């Protein structure tokens, strides 16, 4: 069986734009979670890294993940988020899912 595909990544906002960035990503999460192959998709922050917003995802495959970025509503939200980024999104980890409880 192919392992499910996970991604734990970090987006760092420019000064003062962290909440705006987080709000766009939360909107995106609501769209993305309805898509084919999506098991987990949540947005979070880490006290120790106040300008950063984390995105944690589990998909049936990397292909399903990649397709999610092409959907019209999601593309618009990405376009809104881009100018708020202080740097390129960082993939903290690309993960192969071994097990656990997923919807």
Contact status: 66 vs a second copy (CB under 8 A): no
- CB 24 → a second copy: shortest distance, Å? 11
Residue 24 per-residue DSSP state: H
For a second copy, the closer CB: 26 or 82: 26
Contact status: 33 vs a second copy (CB under 8 A): yes
Token code pair at residue 77: 């939200």
Contact status: 94 vs a second copy (CB under 8 A): yes
The Cα 91–Cα 16 span in angstroms is: 23
For a second copy, the closer CB: 63 or 94: 94
The Cα 67–Cα 75 span in angstroms is: 11
Residues near a second copy (CB under 8 A) are: 6, 8, 22, 25-26, 29-30, 32-33, 38, 40-49, 53-54, 56, 58, 92-103
């Amino acid at each position: 069986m192919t392992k499910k595909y996970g991604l734990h990544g970090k987006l760092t906002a420019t000064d003062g734009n962290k909440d705006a960035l987080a709000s766009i990503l939360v909107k995106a999460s609501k769209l993305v979670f309805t898509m084919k192959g999506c098991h987990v998709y949540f947005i979070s922050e880490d006290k120790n890294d106040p300008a950063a917003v984390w995105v944690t995802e589990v998909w049936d495959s990397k292909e399903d993940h990649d397709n999610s970025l092409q959907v019209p509503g999601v593309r618009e939200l990405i376009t809104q988020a881009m100018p708020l980024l202080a740097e390129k999104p960082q993939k903290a980890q690309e993960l192969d899912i071994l097990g656990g409880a997923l919807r």
